[in-house]
């Protein structure tokens, strides 16, 4: 706070701070509770004695789930989906946003192309035509069925093309005069200058692929092909995927259904928690510059 501020301004700033802290705690406390349950023994979790701190600290829940082939298989499928899906989506987004960022003098019928993309955001064919299209293309029970239908997010295209339009046009004009083509201008000038916007849409894409569960349930006929979010959805809804073998008897002394679910949910959030801090510094800048034209 600035020295010499009036009482009203100081009170307003303090109120904002308290409000933001309360919202942050509201978002953080459920995750802390799940983490505490995952580190607690089965009796404390079953009795509801765990709040924000583990009771009877144990790592048996994590040891148990990391040995489950269903869980490990779903993590592997999700990692493949995120890597391939994000790479393909970012490539298509850049290639679509760059020409759409030009005016009609550089790209004839540019407005019509832009409205074609916007139309897909406003109207859809519905769930059944979507499913039938993917089925007839032979993408059921395939990781490509999870990637290709969402390979070009129109919202990300709009963010990126607005960012491109904010870049000085003189840079492109100078490069074209020096003999560079549009392809070279895109990859040598526009992409390096657009890291904040690319980080923003990249984060949207990564989180979207990682958290998407509905398409996995619909498009995968076999539970062995579920991505992580779909697998966790079945766990949360009570489907028992933690079948016990004779070797698990000793472990189950400190593990029950609730602690195993909590451990799986928390493990599923770790990759996003690790990625976000590295992209967060670009996030706000990319949103602002990609949505406001100077």
DSSP 15-56: HHHHHHHHHHHHHHHHHHHHHHHHTS-HHHHHTT--SSS-SS
Question: How far is C-alpha 82 from the geometric centre of its chain's CA atoms?
Answer: 9
Q: What is the pLDDT of residue 285?
A: 57
Q: pLDDT tier at 199 (50, 70, 90 boundaries)? A: confident
Token pair for 287: 């949103």
Gap between the Cα atoms of 68 and 165, Å rounded: 49
Would you state the structure tokens that stand for residue 226, as one six-digit string?
């579920």
Residue linked to tokens 């139309």: 119
- Whether the CB-CB separation of 160 and 194 falls below 8 Å is answered with yes
> pLDDT tens, 268-284?
888 877 777 776 666 65
Residue-wise pLDDT tens digits, 92-144: 999 999 999 888 888 888 888 888 988 888 888 888 999 999 999 999 999 99
Report residue 95 as tokens: 């290639």
Residues 130 and 135: their CA atoms lie apart, in Å, by 9
CATH 1.10.3720.10 spans which residues of the chain?
Answer: 69-241
Sign of CA dihedral 119, 201, 145, 88: positive
Higher local confidence (pLDDT), 252 or 104: 104
Domain at 69-241: CATH code: 1.10.3720.10
The arithmetic mean of pLDDT across residues 17-28, rounded, is: 90
Residue 108 burial (10 A CB sphere; 0-12, 13-18, 19+): exposed
- Please check the confidence at residue 239 and state whether its pLDDT lies above 50: no
Q: What is the pLDDT of residues 182-196, one digit of tens each?
A: 899 999 889 988 888
Q: What is the mean pLDDT of residues 78-90?
A: 94
């Amino acid at each position: 706070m600035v020295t010499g501020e009036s009482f009203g301004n100081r009170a307003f700033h303090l109120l904002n701070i308290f409000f933001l802290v309360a919202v942050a705690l509201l978002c953080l406390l459920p995750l802390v509770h799940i983490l505490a349950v995952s580190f607690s023994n089965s009796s404390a979790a079953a009795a509801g004695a765990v709040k924000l701190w583990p009771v009877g600290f144990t790592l048996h829940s994590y040891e148990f789930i990391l040995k489950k082939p269903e869980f490990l298989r779903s993590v592997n499928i999700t990692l493949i989906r995120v890597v391939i899906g994000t790479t393909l989506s970012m490539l298509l987004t850049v290639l679509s946003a760059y020409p759409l960022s030009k005016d009609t003098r550089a790209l004839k019928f540019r407005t019509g192309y832009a409205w074609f993309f916007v139309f897909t955001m406003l109207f859809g064919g519905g769930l059944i035509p979507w499913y039938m299209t993917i089925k007839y293309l032979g993408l059921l029970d395939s990781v490509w069925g999870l990637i290709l239908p969402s390979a070009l997010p129109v919202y990300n295209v709009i963010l990126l093309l607005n960012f491109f339009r904010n870049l000085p046009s003189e840079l492109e004009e100078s490069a074209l005069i020096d003999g560079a083509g549009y392809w070279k201008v895109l990859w040598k000038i526009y992409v390096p200058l657009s890291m904040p916007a690319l980080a923003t849409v990249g984060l949207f894409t990564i989180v979207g692929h990682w958290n998407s569960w509905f398409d996995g349930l619909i498009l995968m006929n076999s539970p062995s092909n579920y991505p992580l979010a779909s697998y966790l959805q079945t766990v949360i809804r009570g489907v028992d995927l933690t079948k016990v073998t004779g070797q698990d008897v000793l472990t189950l002394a400190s593990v029950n259904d609730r602690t195993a679910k909590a451990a799986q949910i928390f493990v599923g959030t770790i990759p996003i928690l690790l990625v976000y801090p590295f992209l967060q510094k670009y996030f706000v800048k990319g949103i602002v510059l990609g949505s406001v034209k100077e």
